[in-house]
A and B are shown apart, each in its own frame.
Chain A
C-alpha cells in the first residue's frame, strides 16, 4: 500500500511539472487589456460565489448553532450578539460588494485615465467618526453586560458549587447546608479524597462531592473553579458561561439557570437540532441522542482533551433539594 502511494505521488509530481512547464511556454507576465477584462469578470463571478456561500451558511447552518441562552444573564449576551451580528453583517455585505464591483467596473483599458484623487478630509472624517459612534454603542452595551455577568456578589443568596478539573475529568462539590466550601489543596489528595478537601476544616464536613452537576432553576449559582494539574476551561455553552481552571488559584463565575433540562428539550431550536442529529445517527446505526446541558473542557490539556465532559442537569428547586438531600456528605464518605 505504501509503495503504491509513493509511486502515485511520484507520478503526480511528474505530470504536474510536465503540465506546468507547458503552460510556462505561453510567455506573458504583465496584464494586458484582455487579461484585465477576463480577471474583472472573474472578480464578478467570485462575488457571486462569496455571496452565495455567505447567504447559504447564514440560512442553512442556522439550525446547527447553539439554541437560545439557558441562563438569565445569557439573554443579554444573545441580544448583544444579534445587534453586533447585524452591524457587522451589513458592513460585510456592503464592503465586499464595493471591493469586487470596483474591481470589475474600473478594470484597466488602454487610453483610460485614472482619477487623481489623493485626499479628502471630509470622507476620512466620515469614516473615522461613523465606526467610532457605532463602537460607542457596542462597547457601552458590552461593558454593561460584562459587569452584569461578572457580578458574583453574594446578594442573591447564590448556591455555591466548586468545579474541579483534572486530566481528564470533572468533579463538583456542593457547599452543603452552610453554603460555604471547605478549603481544598492538592496536598490533601489521598485515597477517596480526590478533590483534596481539608477535612479538618469544619466547613468541609457537610460538603457533597458528585460527578454530575445538578442545578436548581431560577437560583443564582456561584461557581468556584480549581484545577489539579494543568489549565482547563469550564465551558458551558448553553449558559453562555466559561471560565478557566487554574492550578494554584480559585476562579469564579456565576449564572442563573433559566430553563430546566426538560423545558429545554421542548425548545423549538433544540428540537430542530436534535432531529438533524438523530437523522445522522440513525444512518450510522447509533442510538438516538437526547439533549443535555454539558460542561466541556475548552483549554488544551492533553491527549483526551477532546473527551473531557460532565453532564449538567437543571431541575426545579424542590426536585433539586430532594436530590441533594440524598447525597452523602464528605464527612460520611471519607470517614
Chain B
C-alpha cells in the first residue's frame, strides 16, 4: 500500500476518501438519513390508515400540494408506500447495512490493509450517494414520486395516464435505481475479490468469522441477481420512452387504444423477482452474520455449529435464486411452475431452522453479557423465527392464493426481513461503534431503544397478521369503502399507535449515536473482549489498519471460554481468559476447534 504515507487533505480524508473505514461511515450516515425519510413516510401513511377522515397538521406541513386540509390524497398514499418500500429495502437495508459493515469489517476481519480496490470502493459510495440524491429529488416532482408500489409492475408503472406518479417521478426512480445497481455491483465485486485474495496468512476460508461468510455470500448473490433487475429496469425505460412493447400489450386507457402489442407484464414480474427474492437474503444474511458474531462474543461461547452455519448460508443463497416464483403464484403463470416454486420455497425453511436452532443453542449455558448489541441480536432471532414461520404459510401455493397481497404478507416480510435486518443493523452499530468512532455508545439509552423498539415492533406486526387473515388487501388507501372491514378500524388504531411510539423511539438512537460520536466514553482497544482481528488494530484510525506487520492468524474466531479440560465446564481457561484472539498461536498439544 503505497499511498499509506501520502499527505491527507480534508477532501481526500472526509469526502473522496478511499479508506474503507471512512467509506463505511459514509455509507452508514447516508443510509441513516434515507432511513429517517423512509420511516417518517411510514408514520404518515399509518396516520392515514388509522384515522382516514381526520385532518393532520403534520400531513399538511409535509405533503404540500398532495393533500387538502390535512388529509392526504390517494395518489400520494400510494407514492408514500412505494417510496417507503424502495428506500427501506434498497437504500437502508442493502446499501446502509451491507455497505457499512462489509466495508468496515471485511478488511479488518480478514487482515487486509484495505479493500482490493480503494478507488472502486469510493466510486461505489459516490454512485450510491448520487442515486440517493436522485431518489430524494423525485419526491419533489409536481405529479409526485413513483407510486406503482416498490415492485413497479407495469403497465401501472409504464403509463402516466394510469397514475400520475408514473410520469417524471417514475423516470427518476428508474434512473436512481440504475445508478444504485451500478454502485451495488461495484461494491459486491470488490468484496468478493477482497475476501478471495487479501486474507492474511493463516486466515483460511474455514477460519473466517461468520460475518465475513455472510458478507461474501451476500455479495455473490448480489452479483448474480442485480444485473437482472438492471435489465428489467432498462426494458421498462424502453417501453416508457422509446415505444417498445416488452411488457405491454392490448391496452385501452383514457379513451384510446395504445399501440403496444405482444409484451407481457408477467415477464417483468419474473425479471423483477429474480432479483426481488434474492434481495431478501441480500438484506437478511449480513444481519444474520452480524448476529452470529455478536451472540457468540456476548455469550462468551463459540457459535454453535460453525460448519452448519456456513453450510446453511450457502444453501439459503443457492435456494434464494430458484424461488422467485412464489411471489407470482396468482400471476397467471403455468400452475406447474407454482408446484416447483412451492417445493423450492419450503426447502428454505430447513437451513433457516438450522440457523435459528443454532443461535438458541449458542445462548444455552452461556455467560450472557446483555449489552445493547446482544439484546438486538436476541431480538433478531425472535423476530426471524416469528416472521420465518409465517413464511411456511405463504410459501405454500395453495394457501398463498387466499392471503396473497393481504396484510398477512405485509406482517410476514416486515418481521422476517424488515425488523430482523434492522435489528441486525442496530446490533452492528452498537457493537462496532467503538471501532468506527473510537468511542462507546451509551448503554442506558441503548436499553431504552431496544425494549421500546421490540415491544412496538411486535405491537405493530403481530396484530397485522390477523387483519390479513380477515382478507384486507395491502395498499388500500383506506378500508372504509368496505363495511366488511369496519371491525378492523380499532386494530388499525392500535397498530398506528405502536408504530408512532416505535418511530419516535428511534430518536433515542439517533441522539445516542450522534452525541456519542463527540462525547461518548473513550473506547479501549478490545472493549467486548472479542477474538476477531479488528480488535487488534489501534483505536485511532490509521491508513492501512495495522501500524506494523499484519498479525498472523492461528485459529478460528470462536475460541471463547476454552477450558483446560474440555469435558469439565468448571476447569480453568486454557489461555487464562475467556477469549482467545485469533492471532494467539496454538499451545502445545492444543486441539484446534
Contacts and interface: CB of A to CB of B under 8 A. Distances in A.
Interface of A: 1-2, 4-6, 16-17, 20-21, 23-24, 26-31, 35-36, 39-40, 42-43, 46, 49-50, 53-54, 57, 61, 63-66, 74, 76-77, 80-81, 84-85, 87-88, 91-92, 95-96, 98-100, 102-103, 106-109, 112-120, 123-124, 127-128, 131-132, 135, 138-139, 142-143, 145-150, 166-167, 185-187, 189, 196, 225, 228-231, 233, 235, 237-238, 240-244, 246-249, 251, 273, 276-277, 280-281, 286, 289, 291, 294, 296-307, 309
B350 A247 contact: no
B469 A65 contact: yes
Given A123-B305, A138-B396, 7 more contacts: A118-B303, A123-B361, A124-B305, A135-B346, A146-B338, A299-B405, A306-B481
A39 B375 contact: yes
B243 interface: no
13 contacts: A4-B57, A5-B61, A29-B521, A50-B458, A81-B393, A100-B382, A115-B364, A123-B357, A124-B354, A143-B398, A242-B404, A246-B265, A247-B248
Contacts of A148: 398
Contacts of B385: 91-92, 95-96, 99
B365 A115 contact: yes
Interface stretch (B94-102, B277-285, B328-336, B540-548): B328-336
Contacts of B477: 303, 305-306
A116 B566 contact: yes
A247 B251 contact: yes
B304 A117 contact: yes
B74 A306 contact: yes
Given A29-B443, A31-B371, A231 B482 contact: no
A61 B411 CA distance: 15
A121 to B, nearest CB: 9
Contact of A237 (B307, B402, B465, B489): B402
A54 B462 contact: yes
Nearest to A54: B462
A194 to B, nearest CB: 10
Contact of B440 (A30, A228, A249): A30
A186 B252 contact: yes
Nearest to A36: B370
Contacts of B350: 128, 131-132, 135
B451 A302 contact: no
A29 B350 CA distance: 37
Interface in B367-388: 367-371, 374-375, 378, 381-382, 385-386
B10 to A, nearest CB: 28
A296 B305 CA distance: 48
Contacts of A46: 451, 454-455
Given A61-B466, A119-B304, A146-B398, A20 B162 contact: no
B190 interface: no
A21 B257 CA distance: 63
Contact of B305 (A43, A119, A280): A119
Task: Kindly name the residue among A4, A54, A87, A237 whose own CB sees the greatest number of chain B CB atoms within 10 A.
Answer: A237
B159 interface: yes
A241 to B, nearest CB: 7
Interface in B103-149: 148-149
A251 B569 contact: no
B445 A23 contact: yes
B301 A49 contact: no
Nearest to A129: B350
Nearest to A288: B483
Contacts of A248: 248-251, 262-265
Contacts of A229: 155, 159, 162, 251-253
Task: Kindly name the residue among A74, A132, A148 whose own CB sees the greatest number of chain B CB atoms within 10 A.
Answer: A132
A265 B7 CA distance: 81
B389 interface: yes
B366 interface: yes
Q: Please classify the interface of chain A as helix (H, G, I), strand (E, B), loop, or mixed, using the class held by over half of its residues.
A: helix
B234 interface: no
Interface residues of B, number: 144
Interface stretch (B31-39, B170-178, B196-204, B557-565): B557-565
A248 B251 CA distance: 7
Interface string B390-405: 1011001111011011
Interface stretch (B17-25, B181-189, B512-520): B512-520
B65 interface: no
A300 B154 CA distance: 11
B235 interface: no
A106 B366 contact: yes
B300 interface: yes
B331 A106 contact: no
Contacts of B331: 244, 246
Contacts of B397: 142-143, 146
A97 B155 CA distance: 47
A114 B301 contact: yes
B353 A127 contact: yes
B410 interface: no
A29 B156 CA distance: 50
Contact of A117 (B148, B302, B527): B302
Task: Kindly name the residue among A28, A231, A305 whose own CB sees the greatest number of chain B CB atoms within 10 A.
Answer: A231
B51 to A, nearest CB: 13
B80 interface: no
B314 interface: no
Contacts of B455: 46, 49
Given A147-B339, A189-B257, A115 B561 contact: yes
A61 B593 CA distance: 50
Given A115-B301, A298-B473, A88 B263 contact: no
Given A46-B451, A237-B402, A189 B361 contact: no
A277 B480 CA distance: 12
Given A31-B443, A103-B368, A296 B60 contact: no
A109 B389 contact: no
A134 to B, nearest CB: 9
B335 A150 contact: yes
Contacts of A54: 462
Nearest to B312: A128
Nearest to B161: A229
Nearest to A166: B252
B363 A103 contact: yes
Given A23-B444, A28-B443, A300-B475, A17 B511 contact: yes
A186 B308 CA distance: 56
Contacts of A307: 481
B342 A298 contact: no
B266 interface: yes
B223 interface: no
B244 interface: no
Contacts of B57: 1-2, 4-5
Given A92-B389, A108-B368, A277-B487, A127 B473 contact: no
A300 B445 contact: no
